[in-house]
Amino acid sequence: ELKVEQNPLFLSMQEGKNYTIYCNYSTTSDRLYWYRQDPGKSLESLFVLLSNGAVKQEGRLMASLDTKARLSTLHITAAVHDLSATYFCAGSNFGNEKLTFGTGTRLTIIP
């Protein structure tokens, strides 16, 4: 059974700094997703990573996938306040599309 762990669970960072959120998973995961959730809101899809070595970037966020290490990272560059949210990674496997989520990383950007 797929298990997904994220760290850190909480992250406060100053505007302008860089940081990385880590997502480890326990068994083979064919697809890795990153979502953003604002308080009281639903989940917004950020990235879908399908293959080893995949890297995707959107604005100040960059996600990567290392299937051999069973690790995905979400890197934040020069953080701005608007990025404050909870970020979830989730995995799934071919043949069963259900998503298994990590516990989330609650990111707070301090001016």
Which residues are near other proteins by CB under 8 A? Answer: 31, 33, 35, 41-45, 48, 50, 88, 90, 92, 96-104
Cα dihedral sign for 111, 36, 38, 21? negative
Give whichever of 18 and 103 is closer to other proteins, judged by the CB atom.
103
CB of 97 to other proteins, least distance (A): 5
CB of 105 to other proteins, least distance (A): 10
Which is nearest to 34 in space by CA: 55, 12, 15? 55
- Name the strand (E) or helix (H) holding 23: strand 19-25
CA dist., res. 62 & res. 17, Å (int): 14
CB of 104 to other proteins, least distance (A): 5
Is 24 within 8 Å of 5 (Cβ atoms)? yes
Give whichever of 36 and 79 is closer to other proteins, judged by the CB atom.
36
Give whichever of 76 and 102 is closer to other proteins, judged by the CB atom.
102
